[in-house]
Amino acid sequence: MAKLKLTDAAEIMQRTYDGTNGAEVEVSLNVAGVQAVFLKDRTLVIPGTNEFADWLDFNFNLVDPTVDAHGFTVVPGDSGVMYHAGFLAHAQMVYSFAKALKPKFIIGHSLGAASAQIVGMSLKTPTVAFASPMVVRGAERMPGEGWVVNICRSDDAVCHVPSSILGFRHIGSRYWISPQAVHQGEDHRIDKYIALLGVAAIGDALPKHWPT
């Protein structure tokens, strides 16, 4: 089975944000605030929030009528597990784009990492998600979760929401990485993840490739 280096995954995401990977792109999605690019090597890249509207439409999803007792917008998936409604809506659009393309790998960051968890699990495709929010409520593990790995900074607030106290969790496995010093406001960016992956003591505690 083909394997993807975690450092390569992070660099691919950085190039996507920088717009320097145009020659690598086979086809892209940009519809209703949902962006994704499919590379010529069959890697699907799902970037994070880049417009204020994304927070309203997906991260908060305030207009969805299904609100639980804690004020979170949640909807049931096919398995009956409750999903954060905005993340599920985003993932459904990416899934429709990606299914026929049959990606070899999936990489996501931030809002894109929320979507990547769901799409990777559904397509049973090796998935690396950076700066991942929690997307499902419920402890029962679903088929396909083993394809997904989350890389989360302990000082990245996005990785801690919606709160596990309310029953939310990440899909798949999860590795926490921690800096020696916290730089408020910078801990969520992909370049800050790249920097930590380059620290020997941290990198040695992570799988070098995914799948392992």
CB 106 within 8 A of CB 120: yes
List, in order of start, the domains of the chain with CATH numbers. Answer: 4-205 (3.40.50.1820)
Structure tokens at 11: 């660099």
Provide, rounded to the nearest whole percent, the portion of the chain with pLDDT above 90: 58
pLDDT confidence of residue 50 = 58
Q: Is the pLDDT of residue 145 over 50?
A: yes
Instruction: Place 140 in a pLDDT band, splitting at 50, 70 and 90.
Output: confident
Least confident of 23-27, 112-116, 187-191: 187-191
Instruction: Place 176 in a pLDDT band, splitting at 50, 70 and 90.
Output: very high
pTM of the model: 0.88
Q: What is the pLDDT of residues 47-75, one digit of tens each?
A: 987 555 555 455 554 334 454 444 455 55
Q: What is the pLDDT of residues 89-139, one digit of tens each?
A: 899 999 999 999 999 999 999 999 999 999 999 999 999 999 999 999 888
- Over its C-alpha atoms, the chain yields an Rg (Å, rounded) of 16
Q: In the predicted model, what is the mean pLDDT of residues 12-41?
A: 94
Reduce the secondary structure of the chain to three states and give it as a string: CCCEEHHHHHHHHHHHHHCCCHHHEEEEEEECCEEEEEECCCEEEECCCCCHHHHHHHHHCCCCCCECCCCCEEEECCCCCEEEHHHHHHHHHHHHHHHHHCCCEEEEECHHHHHHHHHHHHHCCCEEEECCCCCEECCCCCCCHHHEEEEEECCCHHHHCCCHHHCEECCCEEEEECCCCCCCCCCCCHHHHHHHHCCHHHHCCCCCEECC
Q: Is the pLDDT of residue 35 over 70?
A: yes
